């Protein structure tokens, strides 16, 4: 009888989500070893229908409609001739967001996906009854997904379930909707979820230590499962385009958000660099949320030295990364998160500029192992002074040569083979028992 595993991943159909990319690869590895996988996910029209293998059954349980889906403009280069937006359109958007933020967002709990999680409980229960599944893994965020096995574990005593933890929920400013009402409840509920779970996967030591210190959880429950490195980088299948030597191309790939990962500090830094050397060009690729006003302050550089290119798929982003001279990482307000895109950055053997406004930025833990990187801290107490300018400009003009041993040691730990092995040990999956997949 084949081993069966249930994965609960809200955004499994999204090719932009690190959660989705990570778990697609893990599931592919499982199916190659004869394991049957069931995935329960939402069915937003923004997601693609996912079919990996005939041993993977993807169940779409319905999309949570009551969610903040109204976004700031995501700009493409072709859309930007100027930043003169219609005042009526801007005010209408702000009115809708205001209404959302002061009605539904003030009362839902624990997060925006709670309705989807409640709806999914019934369908997941049917799957467990029919398939006799032994293990269930919750991919968090959203945290409310953990409600599903938490509730069902009272009916299915044999079910071993755990969480792949992206972020501690209780201390999250980004995903907790109402700290005034729910702060104490969030802490108690998160602790109860973690206490009842059988295992907890976390991205790094920082998250593990935070959860242990906050909730007094046994260290034995934790396994560090780092961001995944996909060794089959499709970018290397393409011939490298000729890059003009008259330009210094710096590229940022990833999402931006005015509240949690703002481009403002990076734009100020590069504004000073461009004043000194007009050959420097900064390109942004990815989703940009609520950053209209920030980019508007630098409109004199848009489409001259600073370019906003919109969202690209993973295959295209790898090629863009490979063809860039320098790569830019912008730290966010969360000191626990290590951006998944750093795996692609490092694998491309490119010099990395890390600009952060928090002193204890999680990216620095990884990047200090990569000798071809430079971290610049800029905030109210640590200004971008002449010394930092000289250090950064010198790095751009004469970057250090890559130490391949450093790079290989970073990526080896994060391969799908190693990550799959770490998870299999927790789930007590013996590959010899299940053999290779049969056609």
Q: Which residues contact 245 (CB under 8 A, 6 or more apart)?
A: none
pLDDT at res. 298: 95
Question: Which of 29-43, 69-83, 238-252 has the least mean pLDDT?
Answer: 69-83
Residue 243 has pLDDT above 50, yes or no: no
CATH of residue 399's domain is: 3.40.50.2000
With 0-12 / 13-18 / 19 or more C-beta atoms within 10 angstroms meaning exposed / middle / buried, residue 311 is: middle
Q: Which helix (H) or strand (E) holds 28?
A: helix 18-32
Mean pLDDT of 299-322: 91
Residue 83 has pLDDT above 50, yes or no: no
Please report, for residues 81, 101, 104, 174, 388, the alpha-carbon distance to residue 178 in angstroms, rounded to integers and kept in the order given. 39, 10, 11, 10, 39
The more confidently predicted of residues 10 and 104 is 10
Task: Respond yes or no on whether the N-terminal peptide bond of residue 110 is cis (omega within 30° of 0).
Answer: yes
Distance of alpha carbon 357 from the chain centroid: 19
pLDDT digits (tens, 9 = 90+) for 110-169: 888 888 899 999 999 999 999 989 899 999 888 889 999 999 999 999 999 999 987 777
In a domain, 78, yes or no: no
Co-location of 430 and 342 in the same domain: no
The more confidently predicted of residues 147 and 289 is 147
Co-location of 357 and 298 in the same domain: yes
pLDDT band at 172 (very low <50, low <70, confident <90, very high): low
pLDDT at res. 375: 94
pLDDT band at 244 (very low <50, low <70, confident <90, very high): very low
pLDDT at res. 63: 59
Q: Which helix (H) or strand (E) holds 139?
A: strand 135-140
Co-location of 341 and 393 in the same domain: yes
pLDDT at res. 238: 41
The whole-angstrom separation of Cα 207 and Cα 168 is: 7
pLDDT band at 260 (very low <50, low <70, confident <90, very high): confident
The whole-angstrom separation of Cα 386 and Cα 394 is: 12
Q: CB of 351 within 8 A of CB of 326?
A: yes
Mean pLDDT of 83-103: 66
Co-location of 272 and 377 in the same domain: yes
Residue 284 has pLDDT above 80, yes or no: yes
In a domain, 100, yes or no: no
pLDDT at res. 163: 94
Q: CB of 203 within 8 A of CB of 225?
A: yes
pLDDT at res. 88: 64
pLDDT digits (tens, 9 = 90+) for 395-434: 999 998 888 888 888 898 899 899 999 999 999 876 544 4
Mean pLDDT of 287-294: 88
Q: Where are the beta strands (DSSP E) in 315-417?
A: 326-330, 352-356, 373-377
In a domain, 58, yes or no: yes
Residue 324 has pLDDT above 70, yes or no: yes
Co-location of 217 and 271 in the same domain: no
In a domain, 361, yes or no: yes
Beta strand 280-285 with 288-289 is: unpaired
In a domain, 88, yes or no: no
Domain enclosing residue 330, as ranges: 234-412
Co-location of 223 and 145 in the same domain: yes
pLDDT band at 438 (very low <50, low <70, confident <90, very high): very low
Co-location of 355 and 426 in the same domain: no
The total number of structural domains that make up the chain: 2
Q: What percent of the chain has pLDDT over 70?
A: 80
pLDDT band at 393 (very low <50, low <70, confident <90, very high): very high
DSSP lists the bridge partners of residue 5 as 37, 135
Co-location of 304 and 158 in the same domain: no
pLDDT digits (tens, 9 = 90+) for 332-372: 877 777 888 899 999 999 999 999 988 888 888 889 889 99
The structure tokens listed for 281 are 């060009």
DSSP lists the bridge partners of residue 127 as none
DSSP lists the bridge partners of residue 138 as 8, 163
Stated length of the chain = 439
DSSP lists the bridge partners of residue 355 as 330, 376
Co-location of 212 and 298 in the same domain: no
Co-location of 256 and 370 in the same domain: yes
Residue 73 has pLDDT above 50, yes or no: no
Co-location of 10 and 28 in the same domain: yes
Q: CB of 350 within 8 A of CB of 235?
A: no
In a domain, 439, yes or no: no
The whole-angstrom separation of Cα 247 and Cα 245 is: 5
Q: Which helix (H) or strand (E) holds 137?
A: strand 135-140
Co-location of 240 and 385 in the same domain: yes
The structure tokens listed for 181 are 């009402």
């Amino acid at each position: 009888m084949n081993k069966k595993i249930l994965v609960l991943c809200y955004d499994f159909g999204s090719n932009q989500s690190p959660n989705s990319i990570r778990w697609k690869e893990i599931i592919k590895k499982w199916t190659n070893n004869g394991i049957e996988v069931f995935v329960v996910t939402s069915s937003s029209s923004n997601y693609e229908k996912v079919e990996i293998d005939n041993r993977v059954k993807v169940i779409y349980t319905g999309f949570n409609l009551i969610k903040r889906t109204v976004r700031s403009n995501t700009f493409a280069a072709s859309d930007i001739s100027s930043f003169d937006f219609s005042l009526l359109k801007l005010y209408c958007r702000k009115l809708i967001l205001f209404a959302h933020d002061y009605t539904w967002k003030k009362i839902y709990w624990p997060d925006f996906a709670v309705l989807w999680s409640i709806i999914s409980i019934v369908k997941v229960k049917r799957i467990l009854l029919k398939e006799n599944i032994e293990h269930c893994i919750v991919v968090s965020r959203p945290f409310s997904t953990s409600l599903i096995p938490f509730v069902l574990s009272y009916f299915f005593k044999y079910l071993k379930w755990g969480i792949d933890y992206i972020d501690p929920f209780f201390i999250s400013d980004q995903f907790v909707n109402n700290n005034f009402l729910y702060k104490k409840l969030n802490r108690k509920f998160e602790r109860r979820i973690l206490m009842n779970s059988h295992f907890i996967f976390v991205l790094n030591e920082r998250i593990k230590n935070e959860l242990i210190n906050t909730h007094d959880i046994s260290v034995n429950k934790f396994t560090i499962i780092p961001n995944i490195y996909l060794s089959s980088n499709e970018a290397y299948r393409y011939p490298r385009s000729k890059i003009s030597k008259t330009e210094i191309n710096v590229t940022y790939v990833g999402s931006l958000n005015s509240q949690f990962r703002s481009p403002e500090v990076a734009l100020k830094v590069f504004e000073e660099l461009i004043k000194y050397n007009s050959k420097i060009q900064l390109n942004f690729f990815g989703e940009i949320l609520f950053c209209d006003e920030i980019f508007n302050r630098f409109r004199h550089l848009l489409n001259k030295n600073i370019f906003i290119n919109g969202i690209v798929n993973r295959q295209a982003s790898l090629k863009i990364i490979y063809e860039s001279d320098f790569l830019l990482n912008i730290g966010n307000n969360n000191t626990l998160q290590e951006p998944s895109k750093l795996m692609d950055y490092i694998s491309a053997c490119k010099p990395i500029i890390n600009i952060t406004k928090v002193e204890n930025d999680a990216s620095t833990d990884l990047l200090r192992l990569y000798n071809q990187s430079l971290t610049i801290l800029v905030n109210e107490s640590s200004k971008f002074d002449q010394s930092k300018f000289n250090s950064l400009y010198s790095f751009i003009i004469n970057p250090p040569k890559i130490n391949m041993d450093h790079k290989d040691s970073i990526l080896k730990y994060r391969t799908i083979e190693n990550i799959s092995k770490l998870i299999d040990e927790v789930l007590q999956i013996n590959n010899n028992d299940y053999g290779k997949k049969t056609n």
